[in-house]
Amino acid sequence: MSQNFRRDLNREFDAISGTPSPALSARVRSALEQGRPARTGPFWMAGLAAGLIAAIVVSVLVVSNLGRHTAIGPSLIPSPSPSPSAAATATPGATPSPSPAQTPPDSTLPAFVCAGPVSLAGTHTPAVAFVDAVRTGTHPGYDRVTIEFNNGEPANVDMSPHAGTTFTQGASGQQVTLQGSTGLLVIIHGADEHTAYSGSTDIKPGYSVLVELRQVEDFEGTVQWGLGLSKTACYREFFLTNPARLVIDIQNS
Amino acid sequence: MMSAVMEQRPSAMQRATEGDADSFAMLIDPLLNPAYRLAAVMLSDRMAAEDAVQEASVKAWRNLRQLRGDESSLRAWFLSIVANECRMTRRRRWWSVVKSAEVESERRSDAPSQEAVTDLRRAVARLSLDERLPLVLYFYLDLPLDEVARTLRVSPSAAKSRIYRAARRLRSDLTLEEVS
Q: Name the residue with higher pLDDT: A31 or A37.
A: A31
CB B42 within 8 A of CB B79: no
Q: Give the residue numbers in A contacting B (CB under 8 Å), as ranges.
A: 1-2, 4-6, 8-18, 20-21, 24-25, 27-29, 31-41, 78-82, 137, 139, 242
Identify from B14, B33, B58 which residue to disrupt to test chain A contact, counting A C-beta atoms within 10 A and taking the largest count.
B58
pLDDT per residue as tens digits for the range B151-176: 998 999 999 999 989 998 888 766 66
Q: Please judge whether A32 and B21 are an interchain contact, meaning their C-beta atoms are less than 8 angstroms apart.
A: yes
Chain segment A44-76, per-residue pLDDT in tens: 455 556 667 777 776 666 655 554 443 333 333
- 2.60.40.3500, 3.40.47.10, 2.60.320.10, 3.20.20.140: which CATH number matches A69-251? 2.60.40.3500
Q: One-letter amino acid identity for B85?
A: E
Beta-ladder partners of A210: A229
Q: Where are the alpha helices (DSSP H) in chain B?
A: 2-17, 21-43, 46-62, 74-91, 114-126, 129-135, 145-152, 156-170
**Who's near B99: CB < 8 A, 6+ residues apart?**
B43, B44, B45, B48
Cβ–Cβ gap A13/B140 under 8 Å = yes
Q: How near does any CA of chain A get to the CA of B2, in Å?
A: 25
Q: With a cut of 50, say whether residue A95 has pLDDT above it.
A: no
Per-residue pLDDT, A39: 44
Report the candidate in B136, B30, B31 with the shortest Cα–Cα distance to residue B76.
Answer: B31
Q: Could you tell me the residue ranges of all domains in chain A?
A: 69-251
Measured distance CA(A139)–CA(A46) in Å, rounded: 38
Q: Under a CB-based contact definition with an 8 Å cutoff, are residues B39 and B86 in contact?
A: yes
List for chain A the helix, strand, coil content (%; round to 5). Answer: 20, 35, 45
Query: Could you tell me which chain B residue has the CA closest to the CA of A27?
Result: B54
**Domain spanning B11-94 has what CATH number?**
1.10.1740.10
Q: Measure B36 CA to nearest chain A CA, in Å.
A: 6
Q: CA-CA distance, A141 to A64, in Å (whole number)?
A: 43
CATH number, span B112-180: 1.10.10.10
Alpha-carbon distances of B122 from A165, A251, B115, B164, rounded to whole Å: 52, 36, 11, 18
Query: CB–CB of A9 and B124 under 8 A?
Result: yes
Distance separating alpha carbons of residues A8 and B115, to the nearest angstrom: 12
- Side-chain-side CA neighbours of B9 within 13 Å: the count stands at 13
Residue A41: the pLDDT is 42
Residue A36 pLDDT exceeds 90: no
Nearest to A41 among B18, B139, B140 (CB): B18
Q: What percent of chain A has pLDDT over 70?
A: 72
| pLDDT mean over B71-88 | 90
Least confident of A94-108, A119-133, A202-216: A94-108
Q: Which residues contact A200 (CB under 8 A, 6 or more apart)?
A: A33, A34, A36, A134
A165-170 long-range Cβ contacts below 8 angstroms, 24+ apart: A165/A212, A165/A226, A165/A228, A165/A229, A167/A214, A167/A216, A167/A224, A167/A226, A168/A216, A169/A216, A169/A217, A170/A216, A170/A217, A170/A218, A170/A219, A170/A222, A170/A224
DSSP label at A118? Answer: E
- Closest in B44, B50, B96 to A16, CB measured: B44
Residues 6+ apart with CB under 8 A from B18: A39, A40, A41
Does the beta-carbon distance from B46 to A18 stay under 8 Å? yes
pLDDT score of B170: 85
- pLDDT, tens only, B99-126: 443 333 333 444 455 555 567 788 888 8
| ipTM of the complex in this document | 0.79
The whole-number pLDDT of residue A99 equals 35
**Could you tell me if A210 and A253 are in contact, meaning their C-beta atoms sit under 8 angstroms apart?**
no
pTM of the model: 0.50
A13–B58 C-beta distance less than 8 A: no
